[in-house]
Amino acid sequence: MPEHDSGALLAAIGAGVQACTRCDLYRHATQAVFGEGPVDARLMLVGECPGDQEDLQGRVFVGPAGRVLDRALADAGIDRARTWISNAVKHFKFEPRGRRRLHVKPDAGEITACRWWIDQEVRLVRPAMVVAMGATAARSLFGRVMTIGRERGRLLELPHGGNAWVTVHPSYVLRIEDGARAEEEYARFVDDLRQAAGHATETVSRPSGRLL
């Protein structure tokens, strides 16, 4: 499919997701948050679902987890602007706690209901590598429960074909209280991103030193 067609289709699907009622999460969320990036991205990153900030701003990974992701992408030599970034579930799931909205993990039914959207993104962007960040993304992309510790660190194939890599969610790194362990896990996360990006391009290093 020509790139301009994919771009137009993605834009239409991204607008259409605002009307999604496939599960009940739309009832309390501010808006649906669709993926973003260039339609010719070679690398796609998939997270869980929008958080509080993403729900308000309508953009993926712009809150605290996004700041960890941005730092990790920079350390891995990956340009966020050249990457398609999305989530397995498009609406924020939360529990009100006073004036705060606490993130709640989407359940199996919500992940399944939302798979249609991420499948369209993978189909239209056709990235050389899809990275599932965390168990929710892995479950959505592979259609089964995946244990991150067992699956990470090696090249995998998606059920409909295409390269995939599994790693932790950036929030996982953010939640580790012990400083030394957090640094260690952060370094592993960066290494996963670097390896995944390395598979997404024949050019391991661009003149700029960036992978992508």
| Interface positions with ligand URA (CB under 6 A) | 47-51, 54, 60-61, 63, 65-66, 87
Rank residues 148 and 198 by Cβ distance to ligand URA and give the closer one: 148
Q: Residue 48 or 121: which CB sits closer to ligand URA? A: 48
Q: What share of the chain is helix, strand, coil (3-state, %, to 5)?
A: 50, 15, 40
User: Least CB distance from residue 28 to ligand URA, whole Å?
Assistant: 17
CA distance readout (Å), 138 to 29, 53, 101, 135, 183: 23, 23, 25, 5, 24
- Residue 151's H or E segment, with its range, is helix 148-151
Q: How far is the CB of 47 from ligand URA (least distance, A)?
A: 3
- Sequence-distant (≥ 6) Cβ neighbours of residue 66 within 8 angstroms: 53, 54, 60, 170
Instruction: Provide, rounded to whole angstroms, the least separation between the CB of residue 101 and ligand URA.
Output: 13
Report the residue closest to ligand URA, judged by CB: 47
3-state secondary structure of 99: coil
Choice between 54 and 192, CB closer to ligand URA: 54
Least Cβ distance, residue 10 to ligand URA (angstroms): 17
